[in-house]
Structure 1
Amino acid sequence: MTVEDVIAYCLAKPGAEETYPFGDHVLVAKVGGKAFAFIGQDDPPSVGLKCGATEEEAAELRARHPSAVSVMAYLGRYGWNSVALTAGAASAAVPPAELAELLDASYDAVVAKLPKSRRP
């Protein structure tokens, strides 16, 4: 998936909003005022996602894709990973279908923690 595909996919989610709290280079997709994707548009592009309730759960994805997935700065201990949207070798990238599942799971995890009054 390209960075444009990721942005379109995230913003098509119910209640999703586009914010730029860190400047023009990082789009933060939010639902109910809470972030579910940090989309870095610098080169190389990446997306930060909630990949588990703990750092240990998020480590499973890093083990499957060691060259494309890393611990997200500042939020890694809370189960967030950074997923590269481009890779040196095509086989090193996270497959588009799996990336879509990760985006869905991050969105769903954030929505589940929202008070019912703020859920879409």
Structure 2
Amino acid sequence: MTRAELIAHCLAKPGAWQDTPWEDDVVVKVGPKIFAFLGSGATVGVKCAPTREAADEWLHRFPDDAAVMPYIGRSGWNSLTVGGAIPDEEILEAVDESYRWVVSKLPKKDRP
């Protein structure tokens, strides 16, 4: 899966929009909240679970291709390597799940 395909998948979600708050980094938001971090490398940062403990499943399954995201990892965010051991369909499912987690925490007036 290419970076462009991953961004297109993210932007196909209802209410999703692209932002570049930091140089060379793309994020995809729903309402005011980020649900996918797409840095300049071959990784995507997503909310994998509501807790750090639950998100650690990714680290156990894919120790070389999943890592705790700096600063926000304690809240269940992981960085997943695209094009590594994690199948593309699982990465897309992780993006979909991240979107669902973020939307569920939005105020009703901001939900798509």
* TM class, shorter-length: over 0.9
Is contact 2:82–2:91 with CA below 8 Å preserved after alignment?
A: no
Query: For structure 2, which runs of at least 5 residues remain unmatched after alignment?
Result: none
Please give the alpha-carbon distance, in whole angstroms, between the structure 1 residues aligned to 2:83 and 2:93: 17
Determine which of 82, 87, 90 is the counterpart of 1:98.
Answer: 90
Q: CA RMSD in A?
A: 0.9
Question: 3-state DSSP class of the match of 1:74?
Answer: coil
Q: 2:95 corresponds to which letter in structure 1?
A: L
Give the C-alpha shift of residue 54 in structure 1.
1.1
Is contact 1:29–1:36 with CA below 8 Å preserved after alignment?
A: yes
Give the C-alpha shift of residue 41 in structure 1.
2.2
Please give the alpha-carbon distance, in whole angstroms, between the structure 1 residues aligned to 2:86 and 2:25: 20
- The percent of aligned pairs where both chains have the same amino acid is 49
Aligned equivalent of 1:34 = 33
Aligned equivalent of 1:90 = none
Please give the alpha-carbon distance, in whole angstroms, between the structure 2 residues aligned to 1:60 and 1:95: 15
Aligned equivalent of 1:68 = 65
Please give the alpha-carbon distance, in whole angstroms, between the structure 2 residues aligned to 1:46 and 1:74: 16
Question: 3-state DSSP class of the match of 2:22?
Answer: coil
Aligned equivalent of 1:56 = 53
TM score, norm. by length of structure 1 = 0.89
Query: For structure 1, which runs of at least 5 residues remain unmatched after alignment?
Result: 88-92
Q: Could you list the runs of 4 or more consecutive aligned residues of structure 1 that deviate by over 3 angstroms after TM superposition?
A: none
Is contact 1:53–1:78 with CA below 8 Å preserved after alignment?
A: yes
Is contact 1:28–1:38 with CA below 8 Å preserved after alignment?
A: yes
Give the C-alpha shift of residue 86 in structure 1.
3.0
Question: 3-state DSSP class of the match of 1:20?
Answer: strand
Is contact 1:68–1:94 with CA below 8 Å preserved after alignment?
A: yes
How many aligned positions are there?
112
Is contact 2:18–2:29 with CA below 8 Å preserved after alignment?
A: yes
Please give the alpha-carbon distance, in whole angstroms, between the structure 1 residues aligned to 2:40 and 2:100: 23
